[in-house]
Amino acid sequence: MSLYVMKFGGSSVGDTERMKRVAGRVVEKADEGHQCVVVVSAMGDTTDDLIDQAKLLNSELPAREMDMLLTTGEQISISLLSMAIQALGRKAISFTGWQAGFRTEPVHGKARINDIHPERVNEALAEGNIVIVAGFQGMTEDGEITTLGRGGSDTTAVALAAAIKADACEIYTDVDGIYSTDPRIVKVARKLKEISYDEMLELANLGAAVLHPRAVEYAKHSGVPLIVRSSFNHNEGTVVKEEAAMEQGVVVSGIAYDKNVARISILGVPDVPGVLAEVFGALASEQIDVDIIVQSGVMDGKADFSFSVALSDRENALRVLEGLHSRLPYREVTSEENLVKVSIVGAGMVSHPGVAAKMFLVISSEGVSIKMVSTSEIKVSCVIDGDKLHEVIKALHTAYDLDTAEQAVVGGPQVRR
């Protein structure tokens, strides 16, 4: 008997028919003689609908109350799925994140997991139950409900798999594995049989929505075998593991993009020691993550620099900078939206010069200007205008020889060109 953690996203449990399909898939696994813990997200667009309702009542969206609100979406899913599994003749019990033992830091909206006490989960398994756990949520030591941020159900699943020493964590989604890029954009994207933790972590951090970055971090740190597969078919998925075999001739493994990007520029800043520390220290104190930073040359003792943040953090970042103006005199602050970060990732890039140059050439050939660049040993990222995103992604995919003759599988049926 093996112990599996199975995670199903919102699209997999989007309505009652899909919920029944998931229940059947879980029971099928249990009938094979395995113990099953199932982590689920809120149904379909539930989270977005709740946010929209909250905005109608309060434009400020108080963080604590948003966590109270949004955690109800997963609670609906776990109770319905438990009922569906019981209807198929199996014992099942549902737990919220805090009932399952998730203890988090006291940060609303994007808390990190401090510890997991899975005693109730283990007891329920020992009693022969299929255990259903709400993803995306936890509780602080002093009893405050928190959420782990969008996509946090992946993190819940992997962290729980590590805590209960599961044999594997399977992430079920509407695509049947990890592709070289978004198969909704490139219909001939290449499905990867396996990918390394490091490559997957880069792709996830750079916008590939199939896995949450913190989930990959947990899997790498804990050595949890991670498998991404479709909830709509039984096709073989993609294995994420420590070392992955590199396909012959493939230098770039994947192409990711992130539309949640804003660029903020601070112009006419005094070129004195400590300026950057003060600016980015103030942003960090407000839990604002800064991605790419570019500083221009100095003129008349003044410098300009730009940085990118998540679009959702743009207003808060501008507010922080406005608060610094009295003690950090600058000429002005500007910001840009409608941007996207496009990235190429591949372990083979280390030993192949010219990979970045090819990326720049392809983007320029599409008539698109590059605004910011960031590199590491296994990735190159470019911030560009978002108007020609699809054309750029398709051109890069072809340029790095990632196109295949097969059609990507999304949501079960084949995607047509």
Residue 402 and residue 179: Cα distance in Å, rounded? 10
197 is in an annotated binding site: no
Is 55 annotated to bind ligand? no
Is 136 annotated to bind a ligand? Reply is: no
- Nearest residue to 137 (alpha-carbon basis) of 101, 161, 83, 162: 101
Dihedral class, residue 33 (left if φ above 0, else alpha if ψ from -120 to 50, else beta): left
358 is in an annotated binding site: no
Burial of 403 (0-12, 13-18, 19+ CB in 10 A): middle
Q: Are 41 and 74 in contact (CB under 8 A)?
A: yes
| Annotated binding-site residue? 174 | yes
Ligand-binding site membership of 105 (annotated): no
Please indicate if the annotation marks 74 as binding a ligand: yes
Answer yes or no: is 181 a known binding residue: no
Q: Are 290 and 280 in contact (CB under 8 A)?
A: yes
Q: Do the annotations mark residue 7 as ligand-binding?
A: yes
CB 194 within 8 A of CB 201: no
Residue with tokens 């990007």: 261
Residue 290: exposed, middle, or buried by beta-carbon count in 10 A (0-12, 13-18, 19+)? middle
179 is known to lie in a ligand binding site: yes
Residue with tokens 């539309």: 259
Tokens of 192: 């990867």
- Which residues are registered as beta bridge partners of 95? 133
* Spatial strand order in the sheet of 102-104: 113-116, 102-104, 137-139, 145-147
Binding residues for ATP: 7-10, 173-174, 179, 184
Binding residues for substrate: 47, 74
Binding residues: 7-10, 47, 74, 173-174, 179, 184
